[in-house]
Amino acid sequence: MHNYVSFDIGGTTIKYGLVTGIGEILAHDAVPTPSDRAELLGVLSSVVKQYADQHPQAIGISVPGIVQRDGFMITGGAIDCLYECPLGELVSTATGLPVHVENDANAATIAEAWLGAAQGVKDYLLLALGTGIGGGIVINGEVFRGAHGMAGEIGWNVTHEVDWTDDLEASSLNFHAAVVSGLVRRYNASLKRVDHDADEVVDARDIITLAHQGDAIATPIYHDFIVDVGIMCCNLFATLDPELILIGGGISANDQFIADLQAMVDELETRHTGLSHVKARVLGKVVAAGLRNNAGLLGAVYPLVEE
């Protein structure tokens, strides 16, 4: 059985592991993400050497940002040293192994088709709700990357009235339907209006709990958040007609949130004349993603397994 070295590079941590061709993670660990490009490449090369006795066939890398098909990174999310970086070529040259570089949201998305909630599904989306909103789009079994590798930046969509005195992204889904930049940020801003000395809440679970207890600040903020996420899902159903919209990110493990979102999407669809006419027969479903922390490691190597 073939083995692969897999990396899931984040802004603060690089998770890595040895993954088999059937999705078993034989070993895994993590190290801090260096801010210097040469240091980062050194960490990747060192890990590959660490697994040399397992004779890996290739290397898969999941990373934030806009990634072109040849592994060239146009942007790197919060990792400044990966902007305008030929990461695939550099790692392949350093290790002598084939390398596949995948946007992190796309990696998580395709992992769901391999071992998660989208097995056997040909048309689906994944929305990773975190600091912002990462998105992966699969059409007819293939990741849709767009002309420049940028497809899936769903959080950039503007759904609120434009404030001409502010950054346009302030009206975007990232600042309303994401967990950190949306729900948590807006709750704390509202809280400070009432109590300047109040401690900020950093865990979305606490806000959800407060909202279900009828808390005067959490209840309207959480309701607006659920509406924003629900509208995003309805727009995607109308635009791309997926069989499933998978909700990823840490909040997807919260059963109360998933139930609230499913109820809101159902209500919104019922209130929308066009969607309500087709709702019973052809509209897809919103469900929690099946994989959690290992989705990036698995998705990074899945395109190599498929070859």
Section 290-296 average pLDDT: 89
- In this prediction, residue 179 carries a pLDDT of 96
Using only the alpha carbons of the chain, give its radius of gyration: 20
Section 130-142 average pLDDT: 94
173-231 pLDDT, tens digit per residue, is 999 999 999 999 999 999 999 999 999 999 999 999 999 999 999 999 999 999 999 99
> 3-110+293-306 — its CATH code?
3.30.420.40
Section 268-273 average pLDDT: 94
Rounded-to-integer distance, Cα 57 and Cα 78, Å: 29
Q: How many CA atoms lie within 13 A of 218 on its CB side?
A: 16
- In this prediction, residue 281 carries a pLDDT of 80
| Tally: H helices and E strands in the chain | 9, 10
Specify the pTM. 0.89
Domain spanning 119-288, CATH class: alpha beta
Confidence of residue 99 (pLDDT cuts 50, 70, 90): very high
- Answer yes or no: same fold for 3-110+293-306 and 119-288: yes
Distances (CA, A) of 280 to 235, 238, 243, 275: 17, 14, 13, 9
Domain ranges of the chain: 3-110+293-306, 119-288
Residue 32 has pLDDT above 90, yes or no: yes
- The values of phi and psi at residue 297, to 5°, are -65, -40
Rounded-to-integer distance, Cα 245 and Cα 52, Å: 39
Rounded-to-integer distance, Cα 303 and Cα 307, Å: 7
- In this prediction, residue 280 carries a pLDDT of 80
Residue 307 has pLDDT above 80, yes or no: no
